[in-house]
Amino acid sequence: MYELIPVAEAPELDAEAEERFVEEWPEFIFHDEGVKPYRERRVEYFPEWEFYLVTEDRRLIAGCWGVPLAWDGTVADLPGGFTDSLARSVTSYEEGVVPNTFVLMAAAVRSDEQGRGHAGRVITAVRDRAVAGGLGQVIAPVRPTLKSRYPLTPIETFMTWTRSDGLPLDPWLRTHVRLGATLLAPAPASQTMTGTVADWEKWTNMPFPSTGSYVIPDGLTVLHIDHDSNTGTYTEPNIWLRHA
Ligand SMILES: CC(C)(COP(=O)(O)OP(=O)(O)OC[C@H]1O[C@@H](n2cnc3c(N)ncnc32)[C@H](O)[C@@H]1OP(=O)(O)O)[C@@H](O)C(=O)NCCC(=O)NCCS
């Protein structure tokens, strides 16, 4: 049996979670300047929306977190993506706006437990928590894991790709859809990561000798390097899903 518990209930797992889940992401993901102004306030305002999935004997399996915000249910009113959701949740909280929607921002399963359906357990449990907590709408700006194999394909095209059984080609989208989610809209600029050329060489462990566009490991789209301004810019595309 597995249980979804708020992280505050298991501080003894924090160090392990930090270590295990950070390695699941490409380094560049942690360099979105738009996230920095909100990171600490998010942790302070919404501690109840960050969870661990654990076994009965409290072995750490997965983690996830999200934010509450107000959304009118239309595509037009969706946040721009990950970073905009974070900004909107924090700003709305400070303005006293009553939230009606839970945005599942990230989920990760420890690498030696992937492929066993844990992601589905996490999504189902967090969705139930959201509804019980008065957040009747559940959405997610999803990072489709297979997209990194197709960095040149527009996200609008990638999100239409299905298998012969009609389910999405992407395994992570497929997991959500099997649990009742529908694809709402592309989020072509969900996050933006910028750095110097040297930063990007460090984050990707690749040299970028010329100005131009580059395919990078785990990149969902290409990185643009400009030696004149000594900058690299990567704009991460995600896909908005809504859970039933
Ligand atoms: C994406 C992730 C959360 C899925 O968790 P999971 O518990 O392994 O998911 P499931 O067991 O339900 O498997 C979901 C699908 O992914 C596939 N899958 C799982 N692990 C995989 C892996 N390491 N490589 C390739 N495919 C994998 C499964 O086969 C399944 O596809 P299916 O529909 O053909 O059965 C997990 O792989 C992960 O933590 N990845 C790193 C972080 C991340 O990318 N998070 C998502 C963005 S928020």
- At 137, which helix (H) or strand (E)? strand 137-142
Q: Which residues line ligand 1 (CB under 6 A)?
A: 24, 106-109, 114-120, 143, 145, 171-172, 174-175
Residue 220, SS3 per DSSP: coil
> Which residues are registered as beta bridge partners of 192?
235
pLDDT tens digits, one per residue of 86-134: 999 999 999 999 999 999 999 999 999 999 999 999 999 999 999 999 9
**Probe ligand 1: pick from 30, 103, 145, 190, max atoms within 8 Å of CB?**
145
- How far does residue 72's CA lie from ligand 1's centre (Å)? 30
Query: pLDDT, tens digit, for every residue of 150-176?
Result: 999 999 999 999 999 999 999 999 999
- Give the pLDDT band (50/70/90) at residue 244: confident
Write the residue with the smallest CA distance to atom 28 of ligand 1. Answer: 115
Which run of H or E residues covers position 156? helix 155-158
Q: Which residues contact 81 (CB under 8 A, 6 or more apart)?
A: 141, 187, 189, 190, 191, 236, 238, 240
pTM of the model: 0.95
**Please, what's the b/e burial string for 186-217 (b: 16 or more CB within 10 A of its CB; e: otherwise)?**
bbbbbbbbbbebebbbebbeeebeeeeebebe
Q: How far is CA 84 from CA 79, 95, 110, 146, 177, in A?
A: 6, 16, 27, 23, 24
Helix (H) / strand (E) element for 240: namely strand 231-243
Nearest to 143 by CA among 89, 110, 169, 105: 105
